[in-house]
Structure formats: C-alpha cells, structure tokens
Amino acid sequence: MATEMATLPRAERSEPPVSVPVLEIAGLSGGFVTRAGDYTPVLENVGFSVARGTTTAIVGETGSGKSLTMLAVLALTPRMFRRTSGSACFEGSELPWADEKAMSAVRGARIAMVFQNSRGALNPVFTIGRQLGDVLRLHRHLSKQDALAVAEDLLARVYVSEPGRRLRQYPHELSGGTAQRVQIALALACEPTLLILDEPTTGLDVTIQADILDMIVELGETMDMSTCLITHDLGVVAQTCEHMVVMRAGRVLESGLTRDLMTAPAHAYTAQLLESSQIGRHEA
C-alpha cells in the first residue's frame, strides 16, 4: 500500500507560496432527499481553501464527505442531493451553480476532475484517440489532425508508453495504470487551473502508485496548476501535499499545512488517523 511511503511532506522542504486561494469554499451544507421527502444532512458548514500552485489533500474515512464536497463544487452531485447553503469562489469569482451553461464552461476547461475507477470513466466503445480528440476539438477548436497530434503529446506528457499506438486502442486493452494516465491526460486536455483527483492510486500496485504520484506533482509544477487530492491514504498525503483538510461525517475538523497537522494535530480524530496509518507507526 502507498501508506508505506512515509516520507516528509514537501511543505517541510520548501515553504509554499502565499497567495489568493484558487478555490475557496464557505459554509457548504446539504443532504439527500428521499422520494418520500425525508431529508438526511450529509455536509455541514464545510469550508476550506485550495492554495494556488500547491497540492491540497482532503482526507478522512469513507463516507466523510470528501468526494461529495468536490462534486458539489462542480455542481455534479447525485440527483437526490440538495444544497441548503454555501458558496464557492474560484479565482476570485463565485461559481455560478444555478447556471448550468456557465458551469459547463468551467468544468473541464478551468476545473477538471479525475474520478475513481479510471477504466469505468472511459467510454468502452471509442478508441483513446477518439475520446481525447473529441475533447480537444470541442474545447480547443482544433482540426481532427491537430487534435490527434496534441492527444499523442498529452499521452507522452503523462508517460504513457507508445502513445501513438495507444490512440488506436480501446479502454479494455489498457492496464489499470495506463487507464489512469489516460484519464489524467483527458483532464489536462484543456489545461485547467485546478485539477481534482479522487483516489487516483486506488487499485494500483505500489510501483505504479509511486509513478502516478510523482507524475501528478511534476505536472502541477510544470503546468503551474493547483491540485486537490481526495484520499484516505496519509502516506500519499505525506509524499505529495503541502496542505491538508481533515473531514469526518460531513464536517471539516481542521485544516492547515501538512507538516503541522502531521506533527501536532489539533483534533483527536486527526491524531487517530495518524496513529492508525503507517506514518503513525513509524513515528511511534
């Protein structure tokens, strides 16, 4: 498991830059409504920011609201979810949640999300080249020939071997690691300002996990891109993230620099997560 990689947070090696957050969530609350009209709250007053040019982790146990929070930011929540309050500012402007056309212009082009189950997120009936090419032609208005050339370059950028051949393949022909890289290439097609990754190393072996994480950090640096990483794996957080947000039962318990939260957590739950992780056992 990636939790074995108990390295020091990158934030300890160099101070992250201080700047206006690329994303700032405030007072986000909501829940699920059944067909009978019963309401169950699942997010309560969620608020945190993602610093520009850095990687921020959202951590917590399954069901803590990590993924749902970011889906709410993108207005991609399940049909039965109802937001009751809150806002999100992206690059200084409030996201237009009520305007689907305006949100469509934000998704992919400015904020991109890589979902869990990389193979399942790819269309099984189209080649990789077709899927990448369609995104590039739609959002960057490229010709078919230019789109394929850029698609091949994108695959090379995320270290997919033989990118020209991969363009002609279908998702079922790819390994799990390659499928994950293709998903990331799709997310990068429009050169977003913010990349959201939901458990990007789940189901991959340790070597591939390490390669994917190194690639994510490198892409953030070379593309001047902010990254939000949703994970339950504190080993991954220690290796890649300058900032950390801890969630439980739909609430933010604490947030701050990764090095501070890992060395001196303010909340007992954070300390419990560290204790149960490989990091906590190494420090003990």
Secondary element (H or E) of residue 40: strand 39-50
Distance of alpha carbon 112 from alpha carbon 276, whole angstroms: 32
* Predicted pLDDT of residue 255: 96
Residues linked to residue 29 through DSSP beta bridges, in sequence order: 85
**180 contacts 204 by C-beta, under 8 angstroms:** yes
* Predicted pLDDT of residue 6: 41
Q: What are the residue ranges spanned by the domains of the chain?
A: 2-98+224-283
Tally of residues, the chain: 284
In the CATH scheme, what architecture does the domain 2-98+224-283 have?
3-Layer(aba) Sandwich (3.40)
The pLDDT tens digits of the residues spanning 120-130 come to 789 999 999 99
The pLDDT tens digits of the residues spanning 190-238 come to 899 999 999 887 777 778 888 888 888 888 888 889 999 999 889 889 9
Q: pTM for this one?
A: 0.86
Distance of alpha carbon 109 from alpha carbon 112, whole angstroms: 7
Count CB neighbours of 248 within 10 A: 19
Helices (H), the chain: 10-13, 66-73, 100-106, 118-121, 128-140, 144-157, 163-166, 176-188, 206-222, 234-240, 258-263, 268-276, 278-283
The pLDDT tens digits of the residues spanning 161-185 come to 999 999 999 999 999 889 989 999 9
User: Mean per-residue pLDDT for 42-46?
Assistant: 98
User: Mean per-residue pLDDT for 257-271?
Assistant: 95
- Across all residues in the chain, what is the average pLDDT? 88
Distance of alpha carbon 274 from alpha carbon 8, whole angstroms: 14
Count CB neighbours of 200 within 10 A: 26
Higher pLDDT, 250 or 239: 250
User: Mean per-residue pLDDT for 24-37?
Assistant: 96
> DSSP class of residue 26?
E
Least confident window among 52-66, 110-124, 126-140: 110-124
Distance of alpha carbon 243 from alpha carbon 56, whole angstroms: 5
